[in-house]
Amino acid sequence: MVTRLSDTGPPPTPTDGLRNQRPASAQTALPVEANLRQLPAGKQLDLLQLQNRETALARVAQILNNRQGAGDQAILDIRGQRLLVQAAVGDTRLDTGDWVKVMRANNELQLMGKLAPAAETRISQALAQRLPWQQRLDVGLNELARALNTDNRPQVGASTKPAPLPVAAKEAIQQLMTLLPSSKSLAATTATPDTTAQQIKTWIAQSGLFAEGRVAGSPDKPPPDLKLALGRIVAALLPATSATATAAEPAQFNRYTPLVSPELVQAPLQFPNQLPPPPPSGARDAMDAGQMLRVLAGMLNRISVNQLHSQVLSSRAPAEGAAPVAQLIELPWVNAHNEARVAQLRLEHDRAEDKAEDSAGRKAARVAEWRFSLALDLDEQGSVFFEVSLRDVQVSARVWAENQDTLRQAREDMATLRSRFNALGLDVVGLECRRGSPQGSATRLEQRLVDTKA
């Protein structure tokens, strides 16, 4: 199969007016290197330092559909430069983002094969698809609680009365709310460290991050889980939106456009993300089943983004060294005013591994390290951030607080924290309190892959 180089000048400019979901072939054409575009095919390959019968890897940057009936064109990224070629590759379909192996055959490029996408590539693509459609969990949970508690009376100025929620949907929402720990229950467990540790383990296990794994382990009766609980609400609401008023097909859920949170659209991969408090419910009209499904779709996307983001951060290329295992978890809870809030937890484990011998012939080993970050909004006390690092038996911690009174209280509690660390047999090498918030690092989305250098 041969892909001929194009000597026809710059790629055609597509028509305007198409939206974000248009195919890559209809988007603005990527620039082709000018110093290559004006040269004969053989000279182009010479400039790339590609010898006859030599192979190279190229990435398909874009596919351009030719509307004049000629064959499609493709822009390849090869050795740092863009090359415009005729994409005459037989039955092999090329898509933007594919990696292909090419070989120079005199003055032609011969397609040797298309590389199967790596696991990280597939995960990154799934992550990119969900990024624009995230709904904050605290906002969504507050909306579900309001819908559960309303008596469905029409609000002032409302012309129609929303249909009551199905009984199954109300039961599913109530079951979800029982999963959320309250500030009172969390405070009650702090008296006994063992009880506190078990409560936190349960809280994390039910966060939704491990939903699929828990289903695989208990297919008959999955344990309580936030993501699964949201799915049960969806299943209970779908029949209410079906014209036949019977059990709707789960695929119908895909037709609902998720309701998104602007804060997550602006910084979709920032974690922890400094989010403002959820807006008050006020006296808005109650949501109908369709609106609730849109909110649920955004919430499920948010949990999926955290799952996929964790996998991407844990699967860096070997050339970058062993990546720490990362878990990004959002833990919903209920404050004293029965309003949902979210604690953002980032847990990283930098695994130990042997290193090469040093100049003296001694082998050094990297010590395993755990890093723990927690961000939460305590309402009157303001936003608080914690960072704890554990390396062998050495531990250090930093606390940031935006509220001056909260910062003073944190400093007064440092002695208690030090004594608790010492009681665990840990050597405290640093405790620090700061005003404000830490500088967060965000994973960047570049092209169709996720840059995992954050």
Is the bond preceding residue 272 a cis peptide, omega within 30 degrees?
yes
Beginning with the edge strand found earlier in the chain, give each strand of the sheet holding 2-3 in spatial order. Answer: 2-3, 108-114, 99-105, 55-64, 73-78, 81-86
Count of CB atoms situated within 10 Å of the CB of 214? 19
pLDDT of residue 153: 47
Domain ranges of the chain: 2-116, 123-451
pLDDT of residue 123: 84
pLDDT of residue 95: 76
Chunk the chain into consecutive blocks of 10 residues (it has 454) and report each block's average pLDDT, rounded to whole numbers: 47 27 36 58 77 84 68 77 69 74 82 70 83 94 89 50 83 93 74 73 90 82 89 92 59 88 88 84 74 96 94 66 82 92 93 58 70 90 94 94 94 94 94 88 46 32
Beginning with the edge strand found earlier in the chain, give each strand of the sheet holding 340-350 in spatial order. Answer: 325-334, 340-350, 369-377, 383-391, 394-401, 427-435
Q: How far apart (Å, rounded) are the C-alpha atoms in residues 273 and 324?
A: 20
Its pTM stands at 0.70
Q: Tell me the one-letter amino acid at 341.
A: R
Tokens encoding 175? 């079951």
pLDDT of residue 3: 55
pLDDT of residue 43: 76
Report, at the CATH architecture level, how domain 2-116 is classified. Answer: Beta Barrel (2.40)
The β-bridge partners of 81 are 78
Beta-carbon contacts of residue 202 (< 8 Å; ≥ 6 apart): none
Helix (H, G, I), strand (E, B) or coil at 246: coil
Asked whether 396 and 429 are in contact (CB, 8 A), the reply is yes
pLDDT of residue 360: 59
Angle, vertex CA 110, rays to CA 109 and CA 115, nearest 5: 110
Residue 435 CA, chain-centre distance (Å), reads 29
Residue 372 CA, chain-centre distance (Å), reads 18
